[in-house]
Structure 1
Amino acid sequence: MATYLITGASRGLGLALATELAALPESEIRAVFLASRQPHNPNVTDLVEKSGGRVVPVQLDPNDSESLRAAVEFVESRVQGKGLDVLVNNAGIQPITAGKAEKVHDFTEVFHTNVTLAHLVTSAFLPLLRQGQKKTIANISSSVGSIGFAPSFSAVPVHAYKVSKAALNMLTIQYALDYADEGFSVFAISPGWLRTVLGGEMADLPVETGAKETLKYIRQAGPELNGRFLNIHVPGWENAPGPNRYDGKDLPW
């Protein structure tokens, strides 16, 4: 039975991932920790009540060292010496840039949220992950963070977000290289352009589809996924017109 911790889990992809996991049998999923700054909202409360205690909200503001320490201690008390199996770094922001690259003014905030906080959360929970069986860290990235695909996404006005996801990919590689000898599987994965508050109503896929396909990789993760930049597979989208093709192949860095 695996234990998961998902950041940014009060809505969107994070909540959808938790919902998918909670639907799996208890023989596969022991606990899903939903970490966010404000973990108590109607959607989370409803999922917690339906899960029979397997979905557990966790108050976590990684900007606050005391909040981060308390979150680690809380999860440690609940896993009872069995460790944490999977960490999903999902929290992130995506502001719009009004104009070309010279107009970007929010690099500091976006980098801090999308990269630095992912690092702080990962390093804080690493001791519990070492005790777990799966030792999996999945960083939710984006195809717009691919330097190889940059020309295809030139019209998408999220400059700081693109650069931060490229940086998150490099952070992923650093962890993948440093902890491979301990049996860790650390990878970046793009869940697709999803219909969430972040992705908007015009996005390609329902959030449920992105969550389901993302979890196929996370649940089966092993050494073969370590250090990779993964793209989900959605039948019918392998050769779709436009930049977004969900073919299940590794994305170019």
Structure 2
Amino acid sequence: MFTVGRGGPAADTGKPSYSAGVIEYRTPAELEEMRPAGRFVADVLTALADEAKVGSNLLDLDALAHDMIKKRGAESCYIDYHPSFGAMPFGKVLCISVNDAVLHGLPHDYDLADGDLVSFDFAASVDGWVADSALTVIVGEPRPADQRLIEITNEALAAGIAQARSGNRLGDVSAAIGAVAKQNRLKVNLEFGGHGVGHTMHGDPHVPNNGRRGKGLPLRPGLVLAVEPWFLHTTDRIYTDPDGWTLRSVDGSRGAHAEHTVAITESDPIILTARD
């Protein structure tokens, strides 16, 4: 359970959003415009978690997300996505990472089996604004170690969000996530983490999942971040699957992933992708 509030933004100043270098800040009115994207992404993840059962096919789950995008009139952030680390355009609308896969899982013809650990990562644009979120579920009979890994990952997400406040620094968010990992003897990979969100899915700043308190970018109202912890049971090292996208643990250990799009305000952070 998150301990931060979901209060609304401060009164609108009427001034347009602006950037300091490549860091963009949104007006309170623009944060309100981002809420529908957050709600839609939350709804899709809720539907996917409900549909993830023993025997569910990954391609069918991707098709469900695709259908929801079409009905909403939204746009996929993934289907044409082709960063430098991707072998080709992603081609699907949803990342599904199973067991030893933890990030960028490319949906393929696989039926979920009893005990599978499944992470869904989904981002979409609604009316020009993007939201990005992820969750991890267990299909069928859970392994206690997997349940605990999910709990730790969600605890780290909550700890990071609690530090996403005006007056703090980016290092406070990262350090809070890293502290939860350290308390639970988990290693932290710094290559992939959170990021800025706005009109595009990935923007500055990068939000590492470990850091130093009091260091880094000062957090100011209007900054929107995807806070994104992910951990593996026994390693922080990953490799790219032959499919050119899916990132897997080097030792076969399982992973969990959690993410919310969060807006920094004058008061409490707003979790734009909060799920009911």
TM bin (shorter chain): 0.3 to 0.5
User: Whose helix fraction is larger, Structure 1's or Structure 2's?
Assistant: 1
- Which of structures 1 and 2 has the larger relative contact order (alpha carbons within 8 angstroms, sep 6+)? 2
TM-score by length of 2: 0.31
Q: TM-score, normalised by structure 1?
A: 0.33
